[in-house]
Amino acid sequence: MPASKAAKKAPQDGTYGLPEATLMGLYEYLMTTRMVDERFRKLYRQGRFAGTYYSAVGQEATTVGPTYGLRDEDIIAPSHRELGAAITKGIPLVEIFAHNFARRNSPDKGKTHPCHYSSRAKGVMVAASTLAGQTVVGTGCAMAFKIMKKDNIVISFFGEGATSRGGWHEALNFAGIHKLPALYICQNNFWAESVPSTLQAGIEDFSDRAKAYGFPGITIDGNDIFLVHKISNEAITRARTGEGPTLIECKTYRYYGHSEIDPADYRRDEEIEVWKKKDPIPRAEKILLDIGLLTMEKRESLVERINQEIEDAIAVCEKEEYYPPEEAYNDVYSDQFPVRREEY
């Protein structure tokens, strides 16, 4: 469609012409992700689960937006700040909480790193902490879909810092050669743990990297959930129809430290305040209130419902047992090769 015609048709109310059900759906997942995330931070500080926790508060729109509306067979290749993708892809809240609590009802049986939510049933692969590793694996899933002539797609999520990894470049290079059904979402939150993006790359827009691999790259406002969804959806349609991959850089911000033990004192308070004014939730709410899709009463009852779901999930998980420690011997190989038991 010519640009002029598209501009005429698109409404100027911030909805980009998305259907009402999609607008409300996106908003609900955005809200759920924020509330679960803040609840996890509290639980961690209360010592109710071990290890660490990686909050994604502030950058939820970048994970919820692209994931909303995917099929179970589509694959998410996540990093460690993709709570929003995990929830939006359909992993039940009980499993989300069970994962960080490392209880019996966690899909990974308590064996992997915190915040590495996974579900075979829902097409969320388990992450690894060697960043961009999942981008390589996810690209392999996309290669398989092409070989099998299936029209499923793969979304790989990563921060701007991970784009410095060699494997990331190998993956995007391969995806470009073979026009794989892949979408690459770069969440540029300007800080890779403590290293600013200016020390990460000599470019301002990380989407520029796509040029080198022969497919489109675009930089967008990552705190506009409706825009993120619209742009991703267009890229997903291209991927499904054999037109190849897209790199979307979502500029966004994480409000807290890299993990809960990081005070993030490498950043200036003013910088955080600027970004808080661009928070994705009030922005979405204003648009929905303006068009009359949301009312304050509806908002309240939604918050109440999500709160209830969260507390119910926590109650289930905290009652759940850990696996017996001997479970450590399982899932090393297929049943053909049981691991030898040691006697100490």
Partner 1 sequence: MKTVSFIQAINEALFEEMERDERVFLIGQDIGIYGGVFKATKGLLDKFGPLRVIDAPISEVYIAGGSVGAAMVGLKPVPEIQFADFITPSMDQIIQQAAKMRYRSGGQWTSPMTLRVCCGGEVGGGPYHSQTNEQWFFSQPGLIVVLPSTPYDAKGLLKAAIRGDDPVIFFEHKKLYRMIKGEIPDEDYTVPIGKAAVRKEGKDITLVAYGLMYHKCLQAVETLEKEGLSCELIDMRTLLPWDRETILESVKKTSRAVLVQENTKTGGVMAEVAATIMEEVFDYLDAPVQRVCGLDVPNAPFAPPMEHFFLPNAEKIARVARKVMEF
* Residue 15 binding partner 1, by CB under 8 A: no
Residue 152 or 189 with smaller CB distance to partner 1? 152
Binds partner 1 by CB under 8 A, chosen from 39, 48, 113, 278: 113
Q: How far is the CB of 117 from partner 1 (least distance, A)?
A: 11
What SS3 string covers the chain?
Answer: CCHHHHHHHCCCCCCCCCCHHHHHHHHHHHHHHHHHHHHHHHHHHCCCCCCCCCCCCCCCHHHHHHHCCCCCCCEEECCCCCHHHHHHCCCCHHHHHHHHHCCCCCCCCCCCCCCCCCECCCCECCCCCCCCHHHHHHHHHHHHHHHCCCCCCEEEEEECHHHHCHHHHHHHHHHHHHCCCEEEEEEECCEECCEEHHHCCCCCCHHHHHHHHCCCEEEEECCCHHHHHHHHHHHHHHHHCCCCCEEEEEECCCCCCCCCCCCCCCCCHHHHHHHHCCCHHHHHHHHHHHCCCCCHHHHHHHHHHHHHHHHHHHHHHHHCCCCCHHHHHCCCCCCCCCCCCCCC
Say which residues have a Cβ less than 8 Å from residue 260's Cβ, sequence separation at least 6: 41, 44, 45, 52, 53, 54, 55
Tell me if 334 contacts partner 1 by CB under 8 A: yes
| Binds partner 1 (CB under 8 A): choice among 80, 81, 146, 209 | 146
What does the per-residue mask of binding to partner 1 show for 57-96, with x meaning CB under 8 A? Answer: ------------------x-x-------------------
Q: Is 307 in the site for partner 1 (CB under 8 A)?
A: no
208 binds partner 1 (CB under 8 A): no
Least Cβ distance, residue 239 to partner 1 (angstroms): 15
User: Taking CB under 8 A as the rule, does residue 332 contact partner 1?
Assistant: yes
Site for partner 1 (CB under 8 A): which residue of 333, 341, 343, 344?
333
Tokens encoding 236: 């997903």
Toward partner 1, which CB reaches closer, 57 or 98?
98
173 binds partner 1 (CB under 8 A): yes
- Contact status: 188 vs partner 1 (CB under 8 A): no
CB 118 within 8 A of CB 125: yes
The residue type found at 273 is E
Which range, of 48-56, 168-176, 266-274, 309-317, touches partner 1 by CB under 8 A?
168-176
Contact window for partner 1 (CB under 8 A) among 17-25, 241-249, 267-275, 326-334 = 326-334
CA distance 139 to 168: 10
Shortest approach of partner 1 to residue 198 CB, angstroms? 26
Strand duo 217-221 + 195-196: pairing: unpaired
The window from 49-57, 232-240, 261-269, 333-341 that contacts partner 1 (CB under 8 A) reads 333-341
Is residue 177 at the binding interface for partner 1, with CB under 8 A as the rule? yes
Q: Does 142 bind partner 1 (CB under 8 A)?
A: yes
Is there binding between residue 14 and partner 1 (CB under 8 A)? no
CB of 15 to partner 1, least distance (A): 35
CB of 256 to partner 1, least distance (A): 25
Contact set with partner 1 (CB under 8 A): 75, 77, 106-113, 116, 118-120, 125-126, 128-130, 133, 136-148, 152, 154, 166-167, 170-171, 173-174, 177, 330-334, 336-337, 339-340
